Structure 1
Amino acid sequence: MAGSKFRTGAATNGVTRVEIVTRGEARREYMPDEWARVLTEAAMPGARMLLVAQRYGISPSQVYRWRREAAGRPARQVSPRAPRFVPLLVDDGGMR
């Protein structure tokens, strides 16, 4: 292809394109009044979290997280559990 940045052919050994994705923009910070606006709308009767999140251009999980934090509950964390062991009984089939 003329003017193409990537070329295909035998020399590429089957790889036709390599794409490097980097974080394009800094993480956005929200002001308390933005939180309040989103949470107020999400708390309305019949409100759907997905639609509220889309309207403000944020992830629904962000709205759920803000709601947990506003209620004084910490974000959910998986607590590490010790591995559980099951006893293994081996039958030698009477080979003693």
Structure 2
Amino acid sequence: MSISELTLKSKDEPVRRFEVFIGNGRRREWSDDQKAQIIAESCEPGVTVCSVARRHGLTPQQLFTWRRLARKPLDVLSVPEEAPMFAPAVVVSPEKSEPKKARQASLQRRTSPEAAIELQIDGAMLRIASGTDAATIAAVIQALKAQS
């Protein structure tokens, strides 16, 4: 296959322009010293970032990125030297939960077996047995509220 067959033009016309790309096509790698020098040059008074970027074959965006990264503090990027400290764990023994059980036992002793509801209003204990008339309960509660 000839070069003229690869073009979109007719076979009778000769190839007028032929481009050959040389190089490995890789990105340029800048050393930290080169970056620092270019950044310092772009920070001088009266110099524009675009002109410095053009002079060194960079895009202005790339130079602005370098400048932004140079402003970041180094300790943000580094790993802390000391390992984090943790507070020691405190384990509570089961003995601490016994007062709760004692309180429940004392409450059970105070309740009477025939009382369905117990109300405590201003220090007065009202035990209402199951089957008590609602009107009676309401009258007793009203009387206790009137005394307080």
Q: Normalising to structure 1: TM-score of the pair?
A: 0.53
Q: Give the residue type in structure 2 aligned to 1:59.
A: T
Distance, in Å, in 1 between the alignment partners of 2:65 and 2:72 is 11
Task: List runs of 5+ in structure 2 lacking aligned partners.
Answer: 11-23, 74-148
Q: Give the residue type in structure 2 aligned to 1:6.
A: T
User: Percent same amino acid among aligned pairs?
Assistant: 33
Q: Superposition pairs for residues 52-63 of structure 1, below 5 Å?
A: 52-63=52-63
Distance, in Å, in 2 between the alignment partners of 1:68 and 1:7 is 47
Task: List runs of 5+ in structure 1 lacking aligned partners.
Answer: 10-23, 74-96
**Residue 36 (structure 1) aligns with:** 36
Distance, in Å, in 2 between the alignment partners of 1:51 and 1:32 is 20
Q: Superposition pairs for residues 6-25 of structure 1, below 5 Å?
A: 6-8=7-9, 25=25
SS at match of 1:54: helix
Distance, in Å, in 2 between the alignment partners of 1:36 and 1:7 is 48
- How many positions carry a matched residue from both structures? 58
> Which of the two has greater helix per residue?
2
Q: Give the residue type in structure 2 aligned to 1:53.
A: A
SS at match of 2:58: coil
Report deviation, 1:27.
Answer: 1.6
Q: Deviations over 1:20-41 (max 9, x none)?
A: xxxx611221101111110111
Task: Considering Cα pairs closer than 8 Å and 6+ residues apart, tell me whether 1 or 2 has the greater RCO.
Answer: 1
Q: Give the residue type in structure 1 aligned to 2:53.
A: A
Q: Superposition pairs for residues 65-84 of structure 1, below 5 Å?
A: 65-72=65-72
Q: Give the residue type in structure 1 aligned to 2:70.
A: A
Q: Normalising to structure 2: TM-score of the pair?
A: 0.35
CA RMSD of aligned residues (A): 2.3
> Which of the two has greater strand per residue?
2
Distance, in Å, in 1 between the alignment partners of 2:45 and 2:52 is 12
Q: Which structure 1 residue ranges, 4+ long, deviate > 3 Å from structure 2?
A: none
